[in-house]
Amino acid sequence: MLMIFALLIFLSVQQITIIEAHGGDYALNDDLPEKFYVTHEAWFNISVRENKISSSTIKSHRIVIGLFGEICPMTVTNFITITKGLRRGQSKYTYKGTPIHRIVRDFVIQTGDFTNGDGSGGKSIYGDKFIDENFILSHRSPGWVSMANYGKDTNGSQWFITLVPARWLDGHHVVFGRVISGMDFVYELGEMDTFKGTSIPKKYIVIDDCGLNDMSKYELTYEQLGSYDDLVTMS
């Protein structure tokens, strides 16, 4: 009886933890910066096709990601270098031609595996993997851009965009950017069908092209960063 009672208490606590993790209120990190400066903007032209060999585009759109290079300089440098494209010997590092290989409805869309295209590969400019730089920024709303990994200090080139607040990821994945334009399309991608029992999209969704905008550093407020929509209007 005592063991059953203890188990019930444990399950109750677990349920409270989950509810709180999915809630909108939380204590601020002591290391939270007073100002959030976007140091770079990366753009991605993404198209949806029937399959990998199809040349016909069903739909396409551009998303723009604001990057916090002062908060996560190492992670952002890795990201922008691959976005621009880098060749080392026979190896080419680029997000151009990389598919969105994973969609989990009401959670994330994931891409960045430029070596295998299925989530099993990818690598960083620092070597195969690199460390978790910090966990200053939070997955506190949709649109945050964060490094995918398979454990502590295993960052490569894969990244994901949150579709919902996902604070249970805090402390496990390094957040380094925020979608500032194209969130409607991100939500649309997040609703696309996947093969039964998997997170693999039925359609072929691919980054046709990518690059960096010519821009000057600017500030986003804490309130703006909690938005569920676009943060800026792109001309």
SS3 2: helix
What is the spatial distance between Cα 222 and Cα 128, in angstroms, rounded to a whole number? 34
Please report which helix (H) or strand (E) contains residue 184, including its range: helix 183-190
Burial of 110-128, coded b for 16+ CB within 10 Å and e otherwise, reads: bbbbbbebebeebbbbeee
Nearest to 179 by CA among 52, 67, 58: 67
* Catalytic machinery residues: 102, 107, 110, 149, 160, 169, 173
Specify whether the CB–CB gap between 40 and 69 falls below 8 A: yes
**Dihedral sign for Cα atoms in the order 219, 222, 225, 228:** negative
